Structure 1
Amino acid sequence: MDDNELNEIREKRMAALKEKMEHQGVSGSVIQIDEQHINDILRTHQALIIDFWAEWCGPCRRVGPVIEELAQEFAGKVTFGKCNTDENQQLAMQLNISAIPNIVFFSHGKMVDRVIGAYPKEAIREKVIRNFIRPE
């Protein structure tokens, strides 16, 4: 394979990834966040909430369904993602994630808020509204 072929393959994969990222979250599904794609995801999704969690974390298992419900409720307005801190330790360190569950709110690529701990759905919902939903 020569350089031109490799570049074509890279460009096709990047285009497919961008298209996938643009469509994820719109349907209310929770997208998976990882270190490799975080910058593209932050650029693509203007209102993004990431739930940092780990498999062994009991409180994280309680927050998971809440995040999925809120993703359905705010579909098309806010994108929700999940990031496993055990698999993405560098990203967790970059964002100063020292306790989980840790829900981080990003607006236009910048961190604007966070919730640390297993808060009830209504408390997280209020933060979503305060950070991203404009009164009509």
Structure 2
Amino acid sequence: MADIAAVTDAQFEAQVLKSEKPVLVDFWAEWCGPCRQVSPILDEIAKEHGDKITFVKMNVDENPVTPSTYRVTGIPTLNVYQGGEVVKTIVGAKPKAALLRELGDFIA
């Protein structure tokens, strides 16, 4: 998890919405088992494709405003933002191959 930077409610607009590159935000919580399952997979994908898409994590317990704004009701939720808009939502833990397929448009 150390490779993917954390983002807070206060930083969200500057780091995510105003980013030139697409940004995948991993909405997670410490107590969430599926979140812990998907974390190393996201680390791998970030290492392989970090030049095309930025990866950040947001702890929903510490940052309630942004998840509420984007109606994140289940975690893990992975939202891809591009041009200030949500362009892709992936809910639940998925294997690496499935995540790569889902993110194909952004990492091709």
TM over 0.5: yes
- Whose RCO is larger (CA < 8 A, sep 6+)? 2
In structure 1, distance between residues paired with 2:57 and 2:32 = 14
The equivalent of 1:54 in structure 2 is 29
The equivalent of 1:32 in structure 2 is 6
- For these two proteins, the number of residue pairs brought into alignment is 105
Largest Rg, 1 or 2: 1
In structure 2, distance between residues paired with 1:125 and 1:68 = 12
Q: Which has the higher helix share?
A: 1
Does structure 1 retain, via aligned residues, the 8 Å contact 2:49–2:107? Answer: no
Is there any run of 5+ residues in structure 1 with no aligned partner, and where? 1-28
Kindly state the Cα deviation for residue 77 of structure 1 after the two structures are TM-superposed.
0.9
TM-score scaled by length of structure 1:
0.73
Runs ≥4 residues deviating over 6 A: none
Kindly state the Cα deviation for residue 45 of structure 1 after the two structures are TM-superposed.
4.1
TM-score scaled by length of structure 2:
0.91
Is there any run of 5+ residues in structure 2 with no aligned partner, and where? none
In structure 2, distance between residues paired with 1:56 and 1:108 = 31
The equivalent of 1:64 in structure 2 is 39
Q: Which has the higher strand share?
A: 2
